[in-house]
Structure 1
Amino acid sequence: MRSIAVSGISVISSLGSNIEQTWSNMLNKQSGVSQVTLFPVEDQHNRNACEVKDLKSICIPEVYEKGRATSLLITAIDDALFDAGLDESFLQSARCGLSVGTTMGELNGLSREGAHMKYGPHLLAKNVRDYYELGGPSWTLTNACAAGNFSIAKAMDELQSGRVDVMIAAGVDALSWVAFTGFSSLRAMSPDFCSPFDKDRKGLILGEGAAVLILESIEHLQKRSRNSKAVIKGYGLNCDAHHITQPDPDAVGAITAMQEALQHAQLSPKDIQYVSSHGTGTRANDSMESKALFKCFGSGITTSSVKGNIGHTLGAASVIEAALSVKIINEKIIPPTANLHQVDPEVEVHVIKDHPANFDGENIISNAYAFGGINSSIIIGK
């Protein structure tokens, strides 16, 4: 099985309009939480989220008019293409495909007052294909909060099959009244901050953002005389169907996803030095995931979560975390878990807190889980 090269990365989050700003603020334990301004929240119990500020100022006008999610996505793709040394003329002449993971899709026009414009997940891929005039395959993956990992896995499949030379693997979700009200009704949101793995954690904070990995076959990257930032070595995907919203407390599906990713990558548990956890800050999810990590790797494994910094960005989350895992490999440092004061005694693995940690390993697993019992793991390595 051929590894797939990562030639370009990008992130837009509440901590920055690009990956360098986001990365720097994470190292300093900054939080993007503020009171929501995009829609009315006066009648909501929870009023905080992680918004991307001044989005209009970083987008070109014709993109911004297509909707908030499209604006985040195309701006992130532009950044990742630049990082990979690719331009639009190359995309139009090459075998380039697209896979987009999202939970809500493009919700421009869907509001409390009802729908006034076209909306839906399919619009994201259509808008990107039209904007860049892509001729390769395009996929929209709507596996809820694990959709980003599914988009990376699909991109990997397309490249390994030889159908394409380059894949744009993306994840995006814009903050919306629909999602905010939905999560609030589930009583899953914290009233102030997200504190993953903390003994007093209160729940998640919603965020928004986008991230992109430009993926290529090693052979294609060598023809362009470019170096790889990292490689995608394997993935594991499943659905245990335990419950519509609650994770399986025995973590069977999460364990299986990590084991299958290791098998796919032809690695063993001792080859993994760090896990980028899903780490939502909800009691059920953090408990399940920490149990899965302990059973797969033992108490010595190191983990952390970025959701204390940027909130839960839904379909964008796992691509953001994958892009940041590439940064960890290249910068040899891991940002600490924000808002973590005292690790829950039931968490039997090492969670990074207080200060950044050194990383001198070879491989990272990045996990993402979703409603309905969806489990996903991606392995990213040097």
Structure 2
Amino acid sequence: MDIPELTPEQARERLAHGAVLVDVREAHERASGMAEGARGVAKGELQAAPADHLPHRGQEILLICQSGRRSLDAAKALREAGYTQVASVAGGTVAWRQQGLPLVQPVQSAEDRDFFDRYSRHLLLPHVGEAGQRRLQRSRVLLLGAGGLGSPAALYLAAAGVGHLRIADDDRVERSNLQRQVVHTEASIGTLKVDSARERLLALNPGIEVETVAERVSSANVDALVEGVDVVLDGSDNFPLRYLLNDACIKHAKPLVYAAIERFDGQVSVFDAGRHRGVAPCYRCLFPEPPPPEFAPNCAEAGVLGVLPGLAGVMQATEVLKLLLGIGEPLVGRLLRFDALTARFRETRIHPDPGCPLCAPGRDFPGYIDYAAFCRAG
């Protein structure tokens, strides 16, 4: 069926003579400005129950969207529903704006204006949208470490609108950190890393909550740290803490987003055995025993290219967002390795170990151990 298309000037004239103008864009799109005189009803809502939003079927109805395509589709649906005088505004709000016709801002709270403006690019993504962004807003993430990995991950999770970040780290900022720990600045040297990170993250996004825990993570406090969060991000730099986090995440059924870096090499994975026993592996399935200390030097001993933890940390943040939104394919059962010198990536499959002492199906949690002694023995 042919739907009449009006120019913005024609639509404005018809509006003055009693036509009803409906903006069928989503709320976050209308937040940037609506044609004066239009009422906002999202296309899906309008098509689902037109009688709830429109006058009688003989009334002249004009539909407008961003560029004219959705309004034309909605007009066809209304015609099929029995509305006889329906037209679409060609070029949509873009053309309305270009022709200098008046726009108005919908009535919104300051909080909603910030939300729709700040996350506008997320809201355009079908995989996120307003529902997904609200879900991020309600999410809670634990970041273990505010160093090389935790710094970029925290910045991007804060920018993405994850509502509550709990950061645990007992270190203070040193000048040697600034080459890679980008959440800190020269002015924060000597301060606690968690305090420095909190200040920078809230400056980036004051609408989130940043909880700081200036403590060394141990078997005594790990349960409290993991309690109530949706995802755990491992930004640690030592094997005892990695094994402890793995065991705690299995105990509490939390997904663990892992990364490790050395010199020019890095690796990232997601361990989700706590929620998917026998299907997803845990860290112990990959490393049943820690390597001898001489084969696993830390950054202070071996050095690290400053951008490398940025790459790994951003990949960790990506995995966290995918887990929170329930989209894509998280790196569960896959270890992604990358070499910064050759710009090569390699993926290795990781299978759950049926004899794993922590995550094997039906196995009770054995309790925490002396992780430092375990790693020394390895």
TM-score (norm 1): 0.27
Question: Max radius of gyration: which structure?
Answer: 2
Q: Judging by fraction of residues, say which structure has more strand.
A: 1
TM-score (norm 2): 0.27
